[in-house]
A = this chain, B = another copy of it.
Amino acid sequence: MRFTISRWKFNIFLILLCLGIIFYYKSSYPSCHVLSNLPVEGRLQGYLDHPVLDKNGTLYTYSRADSIIFIGGMPRSGTTLARAILDAHNDVRCGEETRVVPRILQMRSHWAKSEKESMRLKEAGVHKEVLDSSIAAFIIEVIAKHGEPAKRLCNKDPFTMKSALYLSELFPNGRFIFMVRDGRATVHSIISRKVTITGFDLKSYESCMKKWNQAIETMYNECKAVGSTRCMMVYYEQLVLHPKDTMKQVLKFLDLPWDEAVLHHEELINRPGGISLSKVERSSDQVIKPINLEALTKWVGKIPQDVVDKMEELAPMLKKLGYDPNGNPPNYGDPDAFVQQNTLEIKKQEHVWVNKTKVLLTEKLVDLKKVN
Protein backbone atom coordinates (compact mmCIF):
# COMPACT_ATOMS: atom_id res chain seq x y z
CA MET A 1 0.00 0.00 0.00
CA ARG A 2 1.33 3.46 -0.98
CA PHE A 3 0.40 6.08 1.64
CA THR A 4 0.30 9.87 1.37
CA ILE A 5 -0.15 12.37 4.23
CA SER A 6 -3.68 13.16 3.14
CA ARG A 7 -4.73 9.53 3.45
CA TRP A 8 -3.16 9.31 6.89
CA LYS A 9 -5.16 12.34 7.93
CA PHE A 10 -8.31 10.56 6.72
CA ASN A 11 -7.51 7.39 8.66
CA ILE A 12 -6.64 9.31 11.83
CA PHE A 13 -9.94 11.15 11.47
CA LEU A 14 -11.74 7.78 11.18
CA ILE A 15 -9.99 6.44 14.28
CA LEU A 16 -10.81 9.55 16.32
CA LEU A 17 -14.42 9.32 15.17
CA CYS A 18 -14.62 5.71 16.37
CA LEU A 19 -12.96 6.53 19.70
CA GLY A 20 -15.52 9.31 20.08
CA ILE A 21 -18.39 6.88 19.55
CA ILE A 22 -16.79 4.37 21.92
CA PHE A 23 -16.50 6.93 24.71
CA TYR A 24 -20.06 8.01 24.02
CA TYR A 25 -21.19 4.43 24.66
CA LYS A 26 -18.94 4.11 27.70
CA SER A 27 -20.45 7.22 29.21
CA SER A 28 -24.00 6.42 28.19
CA TYR A 29 -24.39 3.83 30.99
CA PRO A 30 -23.43 5.80 34.08
CA SER A 31 -26.10 4.02 36.08
CA CYS A 32 -24.39 0.73 35.35
CA HIS A 33 -21.01 1.84 36.53
CA VAL A 34 -22.16 3.76 39.54
CA LEU A 35 -25.30 1.94 40.59
CA SER A 36 -23.90 -1.56 40.68
CA ASN A 37 -20.69 -2.90 42.12
CA LEU A 38 -21.91 -6.48 42.11
CA PRO A 39 -22.27 -9.21 39.49
CA VAL A 40 -25.83 -10.06 38.44
CA GLU A 41 -25.54 -13.45 40.11
CA GLY A 42 -24.77 -11.87 43.47
CA ARG A 43 -27.56 -9.35 43.14
CA LEU A 44 -30.00 -12.16 42.44
CA GLN A 45 -29.03 -13.78 45.71
CA GLY A 46 -30.49 -10.89 47.63
CA TYR A 47 -27.41 -8.68 47.29
CA LEU A 48 -29.29 -5.53 46.36
CA ASP A 49 -27.63 -2.28 45.31
CA HIS A 50 -28.27 0.60 47.70
CA PRO A 51 -27.29 3.84 45.90
CA VAL A 52 -26.72 7.06 47.87
CA LEU A 53 -25.58 10.52 46.75
CA ASP A 54 -23.38 12.64 49.01
CA LYS A 55 -23.71 16.42 49.31
CA ASN A 56 -21.30 16.94 46.39
CA GLY A 57 -23.32 14.66 44.13
CA THR A 58 -20.80 11.82 44.32
CA LEU A 59 -22.56 8.50 44.14
CA TYR A 60 -21.90 5.61 46.53
CA THR A 61 -23.44 2.16 46.10
CA TYR A 62 -23.62 -0.18 49.06
CA SER A 63 -24.53 -3.84 49.36
CA ARG A 64 -24.35 -6.85 51.67
CA ALA A 65 -20.94 -7.57 50.18
CA ASP A 66 -19.45 -4.45 51.80
CA SER A 67 -17.25 -4.63 54.86
CA ILE A 68 -19.59 -2.74 57.17
CA ILE A 69 -18.21 -2.09 60.68
CA PHE A 70 -20.53 -2.98 63.58
CA ILE A 71 -19.65 -1.54 67.00
CA GLY A 72 -21.47 -3.12 69.93
CA GLY A 73 -21.23 -3.93 73.62
CA MET A 74 -23.04 -3.01 76.81
CA PRO A 75 -24.35 0.56 76.97
CA ARG A 76 -21.96 2.81 78.97
CA SER A 77 -18.91 0.82 77.87
CA GLY A 78 -17.28 3.29 75.49
CA THR A 79 -19.23 2.35 72.38
CA THR A 80 -19.93 6.03 71.66
CA LEU A 81 -16.27 6.96 72.17
CA ALA A 82 -15.25 4.16 69.81
CA ARG A 83 -17.65 5.25 67.10
CA ALA A 84 -16.70 8.95 67.53
CA ILE A 85 -13.02 8.03 67.09
CA LEU A 86 -13.83 5.96 63.98
CA ASP A 87 -16.08 8.76 62.70
CA ALA A 88 -12.99 10.98 62.91
CA HIS A 89 -11.25 8.66 60.42
CA ASN A 90 -11.40 10.07 56.92
CA ASP A 91 -12.74 6.89 55.33
CA VAL A 92 -15.38 5.98 57.93
CA ARG A 93 -18.86 7.15 58.91
CA CYS A 94 -20.65 5.58 61.87
CA GLY A 95 -23.14 8.18 63.05
CA GLU A 96 -25.69 8.09 65.83
CA GLU A 97 -27.43 5.01 67.23
CA THR A 98 -30.11 4.09 64.69
CA ARG A 99 -32.21 2.34 67.41
CA VAL A 100 -34.16 0.45 64.72
CA VAL A 101 -31.39 -1.94 63.63
CA PRO A 102 -31.24 -3.84 66.97
CA ARG A 103 -35.07 -3.90 67.04
CA ILE A 104 -35.51 -5.68 63.72
CA LEU A 105 -32.77 -8.09 64.80
CA GLN A 106 -34.60 -8.77 68.07
CA MET A 107 -37.88 -9.27 66.21
CA ARG A 108 -36.22 -11.79 63.92
CA SER A 109 -34.60 -13.68 66.82
CA HIS A 110 -38.06 -14.06 68.42
CA TRP A 111 -39.32 -15.67 65.20
CA ALA A 112 -36.26 -17.90 64.98
CA LYS A 113 -36.61 -19.04 68.60
CA SER A 114 -40.27 -20.04 68.21
CA GLU A 115 -40.44 -23.40 66.42
CA LYS A 116 -44.14 -22.86 65.67
CA GLU A 117 -43.48 -19.46 64.11
CA SER A 118 -40.51 -20.74 62.09
CA MET A 119 -42.71 -23.53 60.74
CA ARG A 120 -45.49 -21.08 59.83
CA LEU A 121 -43.00 -18.83 58.02
CA LYS A 122 -41.51 -21.74 56.08
CA GLU A 123 -45.05 -22.86 55.16
CA ALA A 124 -45.64 -19.35 53.82
CA GLY A 125 -42.51 -19.48 51.66
CA VAL A 126 -40.72 -17.02 53.94
CA HIS A 127 -37.55 -19.14 54.06
CA LYS A 128 -34.30 -18.15 55.72
CA GLU A 129 -32.85 -16.62 52.53
CA VAL A 130 -35.99 -14.56 51.98
CA LEU A 131 -36.01 -13.22 55.53
CA ASP A 132 -32.24 -12.64 55.46
CA SER A 133 -32.23 -10.54 52.29
CA SER A 134 -35.25 -8.59 53.55
CA ILE A 135 -33.65 -7.83 56.93
CA ALA A 136 -30.30 -7.03 55.29
CA ALA A 137 -32.01 -4.64 52.86
CA PHE A 138 -33.68 -2.86 55.79
CA ILE A 139 -30.43 -2.61 57.75
CA ILE A 140 -28.31 -1.32 54.84
CA GLU A 141 -30.90 1.31 53.93
CA VAL A 142 -30.95 2.62 57.50
CA ILE A 143 -27.18 2.56 57.97
CA ALA A 144 -26.41 4.04 54.55
CA LYS A 145 -28.97 6.83 54.66
CA HIS A 146 -29.13 8.08 58.26
CA GLY A 147 -25.85 9.95 57.66
CA GLU A 148 -23.46 11.09 54.93
CA PRO A 149 -22.07 8.29 52.76
CA ALA A 150 -18.42 7.24 53.19
CA LYS A 151 -15.92 4.70 51.85
CA ARG A 152 -16.59 2.50 54.87
CA LEU A 153 -19.97 2.42 56.59
CA CYS A 154 -20.09 1.77 60.30
CA ASN A 155 -22.98 1.19 62.69
CA LYS A 156 -23.07 1.62 66.46
CA ASP A 157 -26.09 0.22 68.27
CA PRO A 158 -24.83 -1.41 71.48
CA PHE A 159 -27.18 -4.39 71.47
CA THR A 160 -26.40 -5.50 67.91
CA MET A 161 -23.54 -7.41 69.56
CA LYS A 162 -26.20 -9.82 70.87
CA SER A 163 -26.89 -10.74 67.22
CA ALA A 164 -23.30 -10.57 65.98
CA LEU A 165 -23.31 -14.14 64.67
CA TYR A 166 -26.49 -13.57 62.64
CA LEU A 167 -25.17 -10.22 61.38
CA SER A 168 -21.96 -11.94 60.33
CA GLU A 169 -24.08 -14.25 58.13
CA LEU A 170 -26.05 -11.34 56.65
CA PHE A 171 -22.81 -9.43 55.94
CA PRO A 172 -20.11 -11.98 55.06
CA ASN A 173 -17.48 -9.22 54.93
CA GLY A 174 -18.72 -7.32 57.99
CA ARG A 175 -16.35 -6.54 60.88
CA PHE A 176 -17.31 -6.38 64.56
CA ILE A 177 -15.88 -4.24 67.36
CA PHE A 178 -16.95 -5.52 70.78
CA MET A 179 -16.41 -2.82 73.41
CA VAL A 180 -15.59 -4.29 76.81
CA ARG A 181 -15.41 -2.33 80.06
CA ASP A 182 -15.10 -3.14 83.75
CA GLY A 183 -18.68 -4.07 84.64
CA ARG A 184 -18.48 -2.15 87.91
CA ALA A 185 -17.79 1.06 86.01
CA THR A 186 -20.50 0.27 83.48
CA VAL A 187 -23.12 -0.46 86.16
CA HIS A 188 -22.13 2.62 88.18
CA SER A 189 -22.55 4.73 85.04
CA ILE A 190 -25.92 3.13 84.22
CA ILE A 191 -27.21 3.76 87.76
CA SER A 192 -25.71 7.23 88.34
CA ARG A 193 -26.82 8.47 84.89
CA LYS A 194 -30.21 6.75 85.22
CA VAL A 195 -29.85 4.93 81.88
CA THR A 196 -33.02 2.88 81.47
CA ILE A 197 -32.31 -0.58 80.06
CA THR A 198 -35.06 -3.23 80.07
CA GLY A 199 -34.40 -5.70 82.88
CA PHE A 200 -32.07 -3.39 84.81
CA ASP A 201 -33.34 -2.34 88.26
CA LEU A 202 -31.57 1.01 88.74
CA LYS A 203 -32.10 0.80 92.51
CA SER A 204 -29.95 -2.30 92.99
CA TYR A 205 -26.22 -2.58 92.22
CA GLU A 206 -26.47 -6.30 92.93
CA SER A 207 -29.15 -7.06 90.32
CA CYS A 208 -27.49 -4.72 87.82
CA MET A 209 -24.14 -6.54 88.19
CA LYS A 210 -25.97 -9.85 87.60
CA LYS A 211 -27.74 -8.44 84.53
CA TRP A 212 -24.49 -7.02 83.22
CA ASN A 213 -22.85 -10.42 83.65
CA GLN A 214 -25.69 -12.11 81.76
CA ALA A 215 -25.69 -9.66 78.85
CA ILE A 216 -21.90 -9.45 78.49
CA GLU A 217 -21.67 -13.26 78.52
CA THR A 218 -24.11 -13.48 75.60
CA MET A 219 -22.16 -10.85 73.66
CA TYR A 220 -18.84 -12.53 74.52
CA ASN A 221 -20.08 -15.84 73.15
CA GLU A 222 -21.45 -14.19 70.01
CA CYS A 223 -18.10 -12.47 69.37
CA LYS A 224 -16.24 -15.75 69.94
CA ALA A 225 -18.63 -17.53 67.54
CA VAL A 226 -17.98 -14.91 64.85
CA GLY A 227 -14.26 -15.53 65.29
CA SER A 228 -11.23 -13.35 65.99
CA THR A 229 -10.65 -12.55 62.31
CA ARG A 230 -13.98 -10.70 62.14
CA CYS A 231 -14.82 -9.78 65.77
CA MET A 232 -12.32 -7.81 67.86
CA MET A 233 -12.67 -7.23 71.59
CA VAL A 234 -11.60 -3.68 72.47
CA TYR A 235 -11.14 -2.81 76.15
CA TYR A 236 -12.41 0.67 77.02
CA GLU A 237 -9.70 1.09 79.65
CA GLN A 238 -6.92 0.31 77.18
CA LEU A 239 -8.51 2.61 74.59
CA VAL A 240 -8.38 5.62 76.93
CA LEU A 241 -5.01 4.70 78.51
CA HIS A 242 -3.25 3.96 75.19
CA PRO A 243 -5.32 5.50 72.35
CA LYS A 244 -2.56 5.38 69.74
CA ASP A 245 -1.54 1.73 70.19
CA THR A 246 -5.14 0.59 70.57
CA MET A 247 -6.37 2.45 67.50
CA LYS A 248 -3.38 1.21 65.48
CA GLN A 249 -4.50 -2.35 66.25
CA VAL A 250 -8.18 -1.52 65.57
CA LEU A 251 -7.49 0.15 62.21
CA LYS A 252 -5.20 -2.73 61.22
CA PHE A 253 -7.99 -5.17 62.11
CA LEU A 254 -10.43 -3.12 60.00
CA ASP A 255 -7.99 -2.88 57.03
CA LEU A 256 -8.01 0.89 57.37
CA PRO A 257 -4.95 3.14 56.90
CA TRP A 258 -3.64 5.06 59.90
CA ASP A 259 -5.23 8.51 60.25
CA GLU A 260 -3.87 10.90 62.90
CA ALA A 261 -7.36 12.39 63.19
CA VAL A 262 -8.46 9.44 65.34
CA LEU A 263 -6.36 10.86 68.20
CA HIS A 264 -8.15 14.22 68.10
CA HIS A 265 -11.79 13.31 67.41
CA GLU A 266 -12.96 16.23 69.58
CA GLU A 267 -11.84 18.63 66.83
CA LEU A 268 -14.34 17.13 64.38
CA ILE A 269 -17.50 17.22 66.51
CA ASN A 270 -20.43 18.40 64.36
CA ARG A 271 -18.03 19.35 61.55
CA PRO A 272 -18.95 18.42 57.97
CA GLY A 273 -17.52 14.99 57.24
CA GLY A 274 -16.71 14.73 60.94
CA ILE A 275 -18.70 13.44 63.91
CA SER A 276 -22.45 13.97 64.01
CA LEU A 277 -23.81 13.75 67.56
CA SER A 278 -27.36 13.13 68.71
CA LYS A 279 -28.45 15.78 71.21
CA VAL A 280 -30.43 13.14 73.07
CA GLU A 281 -27.82 10.38 73.35
CA ARG A 282 -26.46 10.00 76.85
CA SER A 283 -22.76 10.08 75.98
CA SER A 284 -22.80 13.15 73.73
CA ASP A 285 -21.65 15.48 76.54
CA GLN A 286 -18.66 13.19 77.19
CA VAL A 287 -17.37 12.49 73.68
CA ILE A 288 -17.12 16.21 72.92
CA LYS A 289 -14.02 16.13 75.15
CA PRO A 290 -10.62 14.81 74.03
CA ILE A 291 -9.79 11.27 75.15
CA ASN A 292 -9.30 11.43 78.93
CA LEU A 293 -9.25 9.38 82.12
CA GLU A 294 -12.17 11.01 83.98
CA ALA A 295 -14.49 8.02 83.72
CA LEU A 296 -11.96 5.31 84.56
CA THR A 297 -12.40 4.91 88.32
CA LYS A 298 -15.46 7.04 89.17
CA TRP A 299 -17.19 3.89 90.41
CA VAL A 300 -14.70 3.19 93.20
CA GLY A 301 -16.36 3.67 96.59
CA LYS A 302 -19.85 4.00 95.07
CA ILE A 303 -20.80 0.32 95.23
CA PRO A 304 -22.34 -1.01 98.53
CA GLN A 305 -19.77 -3.03 100.52
CA ASP A 306 -21.94 -6.20 100.60
CA VAL A 307 -22.06 -6.15 96.79
CA VAL A 308 -18.29 -5.45 96.58
CA ASP A 309 -17.64 -8.42 98.86
CA LYS A 310 -19.43 -10.96 96.63
CA MET A 311 -18.39 -9.33 93.34
CA GLU A 312 -16.53 -12.42 92.13
CA GLU A 313 -19.62 -14.68 92.36
CA LEU A 314 -22.07 -11.96 91.26
CA ALA A 315 -20.18 -11.24 88.04
CA PRO A 316 -17.86 -14.12 87.07
CA MET A 317 -17.41 -12.47 83.67
CA LEU A 318 -15.22 -9.80 85.33
CA LYS A 319 -12.48 -12.36 85.91
CA LYS A 320 -13.10 -14.07 82.57
CA LEU A 321 -12.52 -10.73 80.83
CA GLY A 322 -9.35 -10.17 82.86
CA TYR A 323 -10.60 -7.73 85.51
CA ASP A 324 -9.60 -8.39 89.14
CA PRO A 325 -12.99 -8.70 90.90
CA ASN A 326 -11.31 -7.87 94.24
CA GLY A 327 -9.33 -4.84 93.08
CA ASN A 328 -11.09 -1.60 93.96
CA PRO A 329 -9.93 -0.31 91.60
CA PRO A 330 -7.84 -2.94 89.85
CA ASN A 331 -4.68 -1.74 88.15
CA TYR A 332 -5.79 -0.86 84.61
CA GLY A 333 -2.26 0.31 83.72
CA ASP A 334 -0.46 3.63 83.26
CA PRO A 335 -1.80 6.20 80.77
CA ASP A 336 0.09 7.66 77.82
CA ALA A 337 1.46 11.14 78.53
CA PHE A 338 -0.90 12.89 76.12
CA VAL A 339 -4.01 11.38 77.72
CA GLN A 340 -2.66 12.44 81.14
CA GLN A 341 -2.25 15.93 79.66
CA ASN A 342 -5.79 15.99 78.21
CA THR A 343 -7.22 14.99 81.59
CA LEU A 344 -5.35 17.74 83.48
CA GLU A 345 -6.40 20.40 80.97
CA ILE A 346 -10.04 19.34 81.14
CA LYS A 347 -9.88 19.61 84.97
CA LYS A 348 -8.26 23.06 84.76
CA GLN A 349 -10.88 24.39 82.32
CA GLU A 350 -13.94 22.75 83.87
CA HIS A 351 -16.09 25.84 83.17
CA VAL A 352 -15.18 25.77 79.45
CA TRP A 353 -16.54 22.27 79.12
CA VAL A 354 -19.62 23.12 81.16
CA ASN A 355 -20.29 25.86 78.59
CA LYS A 356 -19.56 23.66 75.59
CA THR A 357 -22.08 21.17 76.95
CA LYS A 358 -24.60 24.00 77.48
CA VAL A 359 -24.12 25.06 73.84
CA LEU A 360 -24.73 21.47 72.77
CA LEU A 361 -27.89 21.39 74.87
CA THR A 362 -29.23 24.70 73.57
CA GLU A 363 -28.44 23.63 70.01
CA LYS A 364 -30.48 20.60 70.95
CA LEU A 365 -33.47 22.65 72.08
CA VAL A 366 -33.32 24.73 68.90
CA ASP A 367 -33.10 21.62 66.74
CA LEU A 368 -35.97 19.95 68.54
CA LYS A 369 -38.13 23.02 67.98
CA LYS A 370 -37.35 22.68 64.27
CA VAL A 371 -37.99 18.96 64.46
CA ASN A 372 -41.36 19.00 66.25
Contacts and interface: CB of A to CB of B under 8 A. Distances in A.
Interface string A62-97: 000000000000000000000000000000000111
A1 B11 contact: no
B280 A119 contact: yes
Copies in the assembly, this chain: 2
A135 B188 CA distance: 37
A36 interface: yes
B126 A142 contact: yes
Interface residues on chain A, size class: 35 or more
B125 A99 contact: no
B367 A123 contact: yes
Given A103-B107, A119-B371, A126-B146, 5 more contacts: A22-B25, A100-B126, A104-B138, A119-B280, A131-B142
Interface of A: 1-2, 4, 6-7, 10-11, 14-15, 17-19, 21-22, 25-26, 29-32, 34-36, 39-40, 43-44, 46, 48-53, 59, 95-100, 103-104, 107, 111, 115, 117, 119-127, 129-131, 133-135, 137-139, 141-142, 145-147, 276, 278-281, 367-368, 371-372
The 6 A-B residue pairs with the shortest CB-CB distance, nearest first, are: A18-B18, A32-B32, A125-B146, A134-B141, A96-B124, A137-B137
